[in-house]
Structure 1
Amino acid sequence: MRLALLAGGTGGAKLAAGFAGLLSPGELTVIANTADDDEFWGLLVSPDVDAILYRLAGMFNERSGFGVTDDTFHALSMLHRLGEPTWFALGDMDIGLHLLRSRLVHSGMRLTEAVADIAHRLAIDAAVLPMSDEPVRTRVLTDDGDLAMQRWFVEQKCAPPVRSLRYEGIEAAQPAPEVVQAVHDADAVVIGPSNPVLSIDPILTLLAPHLDRRRVIVVSPIVGGRSLKGPTVEMLRDLGEEPTTAGVAKHYASVAGTFVIDPVDTALQGAITALGMQPIVCDTVMADAEDERRLATDIARIVEGWVADGAS
């Protein structure tokens, strides 16, 4: 069974770890959002890609929610001493990865090739693909101005209400060829429980024409009316979308035929069916590695049924 997972750096990355522990080498491709990327001190930083890499390598810092376990911050301390703004906290080991990726890209590698090189060095069996080799950057329009995504998310702590989003560079970007091949070859494409407008929409803007709605499964990032991590509910509300599980189903109804919801949202099955989507109820909360594998197993069983029926 081959799966392609569209993922951001939190819920999607957790589900990637669950699938990686379940599937054989070569069966999982994770397609990562790169619209959150930015440059700090001349280094290309790719938060969603890196969160996926660190989780799959068993290095992710669960306590802080970003970066590498047991990292130190000596370089950041020196930058602070030298008068540099240090609101974006890069650990020393984290900087090591950014240095290597920046060198690989500057030497002529495509971003896809550079990420594959790093994944190989980290002994990751799954394919981790950036959504595009061209730069796309999310801009957040707020009452305080037009902000880079990381400045709004990290420095401003998501405080300014969001009036609109713009994916700068998306018109000139193309999905990486490996990404297109991965979704064509997959038995199913899974959209992880990541923020729909920040993490998934940039990927879908590029990739939607290549998707077969019948083979796309979405895992809701909202459970019982709240997002388990991050500003998903608040952002959807600010942008005029319904900030509920049913609202997320509406958001994805044109690209996905199956929608996975938590048991607390069982009453919404009828509303989801009315959108032309098949609701699937299973425990979607991933508090630890066991939960990640359990949810991955539940989704894999859905896909196995499709394969057995010849639906894919």
Structure 2
Amino acid sequence: SGKTNEDGNTTVGWEDEDGDRWTLTVTVEDYETGRPIEDAEVSIGKGGNITVTLPDGTDMDEDNRITVTVTDNERDPQEDVTVIVKGDLGQRETGETDEDGKLTVPAVTETEYHGAYIVGYTDGTFGPERSMSRSEAAAIFARLLSDKLDERIPSGNNVKFKDIDPDMWYAGYVEYLTGYGVAVGYNDRSYRGDKAITRAEFTAMAARFFDVYGDGAEEIMEQYEGFYDVSDGYWAAEYIKDAAIHGWVEGYGDGTFRADDPIDRAEVVTIVNRLLGREADEDYIADNHRRLVMFPDVSSRHWAYYNVLEAANAHTANLTNPETWEK
């Protein structure tokens, strides 16, 4: 057993049945402020559980959460260690450390509003296999970014591309994204909004969007080995590599990416959901068909069914794993 010092740390140890000695460093901090908690009592039970008793006067509730970090003598995080945290008012919270050796208590489910960022066509269909146009891609990323930053989409009067008139439906979206460096045109100063956006163009746009949006899925996918048909000198090679490493895009079974092929609408929502870390609540969807925007050309057997519904239905998401929707 031991008490945490001014840095919130203490080292505790034990001897196992074979006579081997083990030590762990336990760090106790205030989750909201990151400040160390001094004079917390730390002990290890016979079963290996760690008990942290907070000093008198230290609050532990949803507004004052406690983070405990467990590392070994080589500072490697210790996963799946059971930690019990006790407060001076009889509070008791129990959990297991994660892959970073951390446990934060009490557990609080964070929520996030997920706005709909894509719509169907006037005939009620979604068109999952239809190509996505460059104007439609701009609309998606502009809606997401303006919602995140709580900004208005401009009128389009100051759009810089020679082939976009201010009264075009997507002029404001392109003007907005151009200001953030997300939307780019061609060397002749055209945007070509009605042109089908390629897999490379959309991937590059998604990567630029993520740099501005700054929140989503950043997990590194270590199995990335490159695509046979994307050379190092290809204009979008770095964008494609970055997106693939993060798991946002995938290639085909033959190891190709087919960068210059048009991307379809089902592929688009799948990539965007991966990038944002969004996923549909399958149980909620099964129980609430009548409340949701559904499409006759996207049945439950379609490979992108849940990705389409995640993208087309605004909802409040509980950021659990997996994500759940509130009724």
TM-score (ref. length: structure 1)? 0.30
Decide which structure has greater helix share: 1
TM-score (ref. length: structure 2)? 0.29
Larger radius of gyration between Structure 1 and Structure 2? 2
| More RCO (CA 8 Å, sep 6+) | 1
